[in-house]
Amino acid sequence: MPVLKIYNVNLPLITPFETSFGIQYSRNALIIEYFDDVKAYGESVTEEFPGYSYEDNGTALHIIKNYLINILKETRDPETFMEKAKKIKGHNMAKSAVETMLWDLKAKEEEKSLKEIIKGKKVKIESGISIGILPLEKLMDTIANAIELGYKRIKLKIKPGWDSDVLKEVRKRFGNIPLTVDANQAYEGMEERILTLDKYELLMIEQPLSENNFYGLSKLQKKLTTPICLDESIHGIRDAEMMLEMDAGKIINLKIGRVGGLTESMKIVEFCRKNKIPLWCGGMLETGIGRALNVIIQTREEFNMPGDTSPSNRYFERDIIDKPFIMKNGYIEVPSGPGIGIKPDMGFIEKIGKVVLEEKI
Ligand code: OSB
Ligand code: MG
């Protein structure tokens, strides 16, 4: 009888990651293992602290353990699973953790790569870097190093008081590099401050206002030349439609966990193709397991801007997969094995992780 196991692993980050909502010192991840003749894996993109989203590891584990596991006992088909999971409100990241594991399982049972199933074309994807808030000199060194490594685009985290002056300095030192900023909702009521960033020729300004404030985002977009990119605001296809209809942004950062899985993600991918909306894939400092999925979805040509997918060694001393992701000239190669294409390093996971759920399904 198959068993569902959830491991909690804590991987220290090489550099602490500071955003407008806090500092993260490690990636504390829930890793899902479906254990049978075929083994499948998923990662919950939640964190220990609910700063980016209301979901955290505690709520994700609760939703999986008390509700989603019952649905999993009825079906192993990812789309049917998501249909049935609709009766549970919200909790997209918890749902996505299980649903993406089911996609890995389905692909492996059909002896296919997930890339083939989603009709992905690319053999390598463009890599962008997301750089946290750092002391100015350290930030400058990090940017210089990122350019040297070949990253295709540089994204800086900003917050009120850490924005215009920093950008001025970065443009002075590095000229016309492909540059973006991410505010993680920190400028609510400070729209004027965002307008001062318009002159830095940024590729976009990511999520300046609260996730629900489509009206405010729409008003702000009308005053800006720089396109707004939505991250936290997009919980599914309806939000993508609202963004377009209201002109509350012009670019979408897709995160599979935030929209509740791969099924919903593909609807957004199609929507962006039909409406010519620039699309890229965000990240949540995932381990190699969640990262593999991010790499795979970006093989679709609709992803036409570099994502926040860096190689494993940007984040961790040692990743929890057998072959860590590496970057060459700003590209990450797409794994081609069955399912999500990577093998978790179970010896390492058993050693550093603890089992937080184990149940026959
Ligand atoms: O807003 O895109 C974000 C990391 C954690 C939570 C939110 C965000 C991020 C990043 C890092 O920007 C992306 C990555 O390198 O995985
Ligand atoms: Mg973001």
pLDDT tens-place string over residues 298-337? 999 999 999 999 999 999 999 999 999 999 999 999 999 9
Q: What is the whole-number distance in angstroms between the Cα of residue 250 and the centre of ligand 1?
A: 19
Ligand 1 pocket, residue 282 CB under 6 Å: yes
**pLDDT per residue rounded down to tens, the chain (361 residues):** 999 999 999 999 999 999 999 999 999 999 999 999 999 999 999 999 999 999 999 999 999 999 999 999 999 999 999 999 999 999 999 999 999 999 999 999 999 999 999 999 999 999 999 999 999 999 999 999 999 999 999 999 999 999 999 999 999 999 999 999 999 999 999 999 999 999 999 999 999 999 999 999 999 999 999 999 999 999 999 999 999 999 999 999 999 999 999 999 999 999 999 999 999 999 999 999 999 999 999 999 999 999 999 999 999 999 999 999 999 999 999 999 999 999 999 999 999 999 999 999 9
Query: Whose alpha carbon is nearest atom 8 of ligand 1?
Result: 284
Ligand 1 pocket, residue 285 CB under 6 Å: yes
Q: Which atom of ligand 1 is nearest to the CA of 184?
A: 1
The residue type found at 303 is F
Is there a catalytic annotation at residue 157?
A: yes
Q: Containing H/E element for 191?
A: helix 191-195
Q: Containing H/E element for 239?
A: helix 237-246
Q: Which atom of ligand 1 is nearest to the CA of 253?
A: 2
Side-chain-side CA neighbours of 83 within 13 Å: the count stands at 7
CB–CB of 341/114 below 8 Å? Answer: yes
Is there a catalytic annotation at residue 121?
A: no
Q: What is the whole-number distance in angstroms between the Cα of residue 172 and the centre of ligand 2?
A: 25
Say how far residue 175 (Cα) sits from the centre of its chain.
Answer: 28
Query: Whose alpha carbon is nearest atom 9 of ligand 1?
Result: 284
159, 255, 276, 323: the active-site residue: 255
Distance CA 43, CA 39 (A): 14
Query: Whose alpha carbon is nearest atom 6 of ligand 1?
Result: 284
Please report which ligand is nearest the Cα atom of 53.
Answer: 1
Say what the pLDDT of residue 221 is: 98
Distance CA 117, CA 341 (A): 12
Ligand 1 pocket, residue 231 CB under 6 Å: yes
Q: How much is the pTM?
A: 0.97
Greatest CA separation for the chain: 62
Q: What is the whole-number distance in angstroms between the Cα of residue 129 and the centre of ligand 1?
A: 10
The residue type found at 317 is E
